[in-house]
Structure 1
Amino acid sequence: MQNVIFLSSNKFIIKAVSNKLVNENIFVSGFTSINEADEFLDEYSSELDIVLLQEDPENPEKIYITAKSIRNVWNLDIPIILLTENYNINKINKASDYEINLLFNNEIINNHKRLISFMNLLHKLYINKKENSVLIIDDSKISREKLKFELKGGYYEVHEAKNGVIGIELAKKYKPDFIILDIEMPGFDGFETTKSLKENAETSHIPVIFYANKPSAKMKLKASEAGVVDFFNKQNRPGEMLKYIDELYFYEKGRKFKKCIYYGFSEIKYQMIRHVLKKIDIEVQRKDSLDTAKNFMENYDVDGILLDIVNDNLKSYDELMDMVNNIERTYVPIIAIVGKGKTDLHLKLLKKGITDYITEPFFEEELTLRVALNFKYKEALRRLKSKDEMLSLLSIIDSETGAYNRNYLEDILDSFISRFDREGINFSLITVIVDKYDYIVENFGKSKASEVLKKITNKMIKFSRPTDMIFRYNNYKFLILLEGAAYDEVDIVTNRIINNMGDLVMRNEKELYHKVNLKYDYITYENQSKAELLEEIENQFK
């Protein structure tokens, strides 16, 4: 049980908070003033875990004197949380001067679960103090002050820079555990600063987090390619950065991590993948030689392998596959990371026995979903006798065309709908139907019809946007999933595909000619449920 002292001029609030917290195994001793708490502190101060203070709106300065007394008179260094009527930069600076750890608006009282989560977090950080450091690079002094107050309150060492040039030098000097970086800055912006950090051997390993308002899909891809491991929204509530950093980087006690090998040569890509998969409790180890990979697999139960195919060279894959097969170990899924528009390579990989592939550039959500799906079925796959059964269960690729299959569409829609709810990022769907497909099969044969479907898929992949996803819904019906696309963008993508599709003319031995025609339509996501969206897709395909 945690012991908390709560000082507030409002007896009703003291009682209400005490009643809520005692149900969560937190005992609260409440007082209306420091004088009233004098004898209690003399006797029990050594048994306290947290100090909770509430600002008096009629005398706001009084509570800061109280905080100073707690630090100086009773020599308490335990965390102090202050509740205030108005959360602003002036209050933050004052709280920092009086050694207060965290500052929240009074409204947090009505969300006692959130208040408790921060009390537990501060208590944990206090008793497990570590020498971890953060570098904040931002041209806005207010932004720097907010982040610095929050992270210092969580017992992190904080360095700050007002521009990218200074930030790069501080990164070399202090080697921080991670860097929080603003995107829009005069001189070196966030992308240029990240590029310089990643090109320098002294700083290339340090995770970079962009601190920005809601990023666009295009910005996310650009940041990922530059080596940024994540985004943190500037609009998040007080305390969220501290919680985010703790959960992701520094508190792994009790967490059970699956093990995954990244077999490749890109340090930037490895750092990004390592960061992303750590969120779903997967620990990624980089191995850039067969010997190191083999040694690791012989000593650990590896749950999966991410194989980075460089320049379409399958030699590295063949060597790795031989090594995996020669180790007497249960089934290990292998996911290839490949370039966009390499459909023949994709199919070749699937035929050679690879479990799955992911095409660059990819979104964080796509990577986590794909890896999670492969790992999810690992235990079941171990029990399957047939390799064909294995691929049938796990693959999300349509082997005939190289497009994603319908099962994966239904899985990934949850992610896109969730992202819309969380970040307001919309998406649209283009439906594509191959007209008179039964006529084509009947008069030209299944093999020729299959070739046509493959050509159509390749054209859609080539002339859609890098972030778009192509699905074979069934037989002769396709979907193009476009993230962050308004109606005019959908129209542009559709017209580009139509204009570049060319004339698909078929001819058989009887000199019968047929020009393949495609029918297009679109659906824009407007807060429908997944079931309603799938029904709308079905209706369009009728």
Structure 2
Amino acid sequence: MTAKVLVVDDIPANVRLLQAKLEADYYDVVTAHSGQEAIETAIIEQPDIILLDVMMPGVDGYEVTRQLKELAETRHIPIILVTALDGRDDRLSGLEAGADDFLTKPLDDVILFARLKALVRLKHLSDELRQREQSSRRMGLIDANQLHRQMTAPGNVLILDDQVRQAERLMVALGEQHRCAYETDPKAALKIALGRVDLLVLNLAARDFDPLRFVAHLRSSELTRQLPVLGLFNPDERPTLLKGLELGVSDVLPRPVDIQELLARARGQIRRKRYADFLRASLDRSLELAVTDPLTGLNNRRFMDLQLTQLMRRHLKTDDPVSLLLLDIDHFKRVNDGFGHDAGDEVLKEFARRVSQNVRAIDMPCRLGGEEFVVLMPDTPADAAQTIAERVRQAVAEAPFSLPDGRTLDVTVSVGVSSLLGLGDTLEAFIKRADEAVYEAKQSGRNRVILRAA
């Protein structure tokens, strides 16, 4: 896995040594020799990960980490703090500052590269979402206050451990800040993980089940692939640790568990997941807005054009029938002129609701524009489409529409029906036939369905 790594150390020999090791493993390496230079280089180079020495003159690694995590340009970059210090307070200081991991000198190369690959993999998964963030902000789809609330709210933590007493201790400790539950059965845990779980704490030293197989199963399922896993490992079981990181464990913590470090690592994993979830939801909203009419909630013309092209392609390949309804509300201008645009909007929304309730699940109602609507009908011959069109017409005409001021209004619709005719037919001709049928319905007195088969 190739990636760009920023190596930061005030001792040139340390930088050269790390650079040589990383480049031998095909990493692209950039370097910095001070805290301030590290910040500037990170902004310009946008590395995939930062290896940052803690003990530097001037701005130390903790402060560099805090500043990088405060900058919008760099807060997404994982940081591994590297230091000769191995005290509990030092690790906690680094994690609290925003670091993703904390490695001590002399570096264990195998552990270093395992952590690099794990963190780079996580970053690559989130990069596409992050790139969408700016466009989502421009569209007003990201509320900074809502994002802050979501990222700092208590998380849903599931503990999977075959040692009940340890699981209970973990649940009590994590329960001070989060909503927690524990399971000893991996099958039961997997069912829970399909729900709203923000973090899974897994005992990698479990003996009653295979924790590595459980991780592999999580990562093979689309529904649980993004779920963060914090693995608890025995320091003397190095192969298990390395295999866990390779399979997709997000973060690791040695046993016996330091509760404060557990809380710090859990908080970091939950915040990262909440951020990714928020961006995915924002992206979903932006995609929905791109193909949805904001007034009626129906699909818009852009969606209709895309679907028509696909339906036409499939029709020419398989000869499956495709039909279309073109609906035009009768005398709609009189509604706007006589009752006001608010009344007109209410009529359009109620009309869309009645159409949606009277077509089938496979049909695709769309608002073409103004008072014109279209229903795309895959796998539907002309006679079936005409029957459904008549049902829609009756649903519109049978009950008055309620207006915002309490008055009611009778509304009718003229409907044109057309179907694709196979080779030689075109989308333009398909739509034109429906349009001509609507015109005929209008000329014939409105409030009727006309089929234009050819």
Report the TM-score, using the length of structure 1 for normalisation: 0.30
Larger radius of gyration: 2
Report the TM-score, using the length of structure 2 for normalisation: 0.35
